[in-house]
A and B are shown apart, each in its own frame.
Chain A
Amino acid sequence: MMGVVDPVAARLAVPLTLPIGIGPSPAHAAQGVGFAEMLQAGIQAVDHKISNSDVLVRNFTLDGSVPIHQVTAALEDARMAVEVAMQVRARLVETYRDFMAMQI
């Protein structure tokens, strides 16, 4: 019993980690991308989600080949993306106002 490797123990010995997020960003990515480009890429991603849900809704109403859960999931996806974009915009405008109201 001593010399035998317990398969379960061997399996649990491997640390199971779930990577979350983007992690430490590579050096080259941090150099060239400015805030404006990031903002524009984000807005384009939101726009892509909206148009994607648009296409799904159209297909669903036209021929019914699309399952309804795909339509509602895409709509929810688009709604949440717009919500995040609105949050970013609100913080951006707020910071801008703070700067403009600064007495120099």
Chain B
Amino acid sequence: MDAMAISRTALDVEWQRLQVIAQNLANENTTNAGGDGPYRPLRLVSGPDAGFEQLVDANGVQSRPVGVRVVGLEPLADGARRVHDPAHPHADADGFVTYPNLDRAAEMTLLIRTSRAYEANLTAMTIAQQMYMRALDLGRR
């Protein structure tokens, strides 16, 4: 896998991570997501895009560079935030409404990190492309 293909997989992953963070922020006040309680903030989990035999190859040292892929979406075990609001349509018998316990600071931090990772991979891609084009200049007359 060449450097440009690796960076491209990373761009895809970071793009999807951004989508998940945007979904978390958008559902901050969702009290009833599809009928089963409040929305649960999600985290995108990513890992190396290698098969099992490749990962255990050569004593666990990967013998060739691979890209990254989305492993899955995991809900955060953060619990819920309960607010007393008896007039709310989704209030329970005690008059409490359950909101997702979204950590806004953590989401913002992850947002910035995602953005920086995206930029870093774009830079790596640009450098790889420059090296490719410079090598093409070899022997040009």
Contact = CB atoms under 8 A, between A and B. Distances in A.
Interface string A65-104: 0010110010011001001100100000000000000000
A21 B131 CA distance: 16
Nearest to A91: B139
Contacts of A80: 129, 132-133, 136
A80 B5 CA distance: 14
Interface size class, chain A: 10 to 19
A16 B4 CA distance: 21
Contact of A16 (B63, B122, B132, B140): B63
A76 B60 CA distance: 35
B48 interface: no
A43 B14 CA distance: 33
Nearest to B15: A67
B105 interface: no
B21 to A, nearest CB: 15
A26 B4 CA distance: 28
A19 B12 CA distance: 26
B129 A76 contact: yes
A11 B61 contact: yes
Contacts of A69: 8, 11-12, 15, 122
B42 to A, nearest CB: 19
Given A70-B12, A80-B129, A11 B64 contact: no
Contact of B58 (A14, A73, A76): A14
A61 interface: no
A14 B8 contact: no
10 contacts: A10-B59, A11-B61, A14-B58, A14-B59, A67-B12, A67-B15, A69-B12, A73-B11, A76-B129, A87-B140
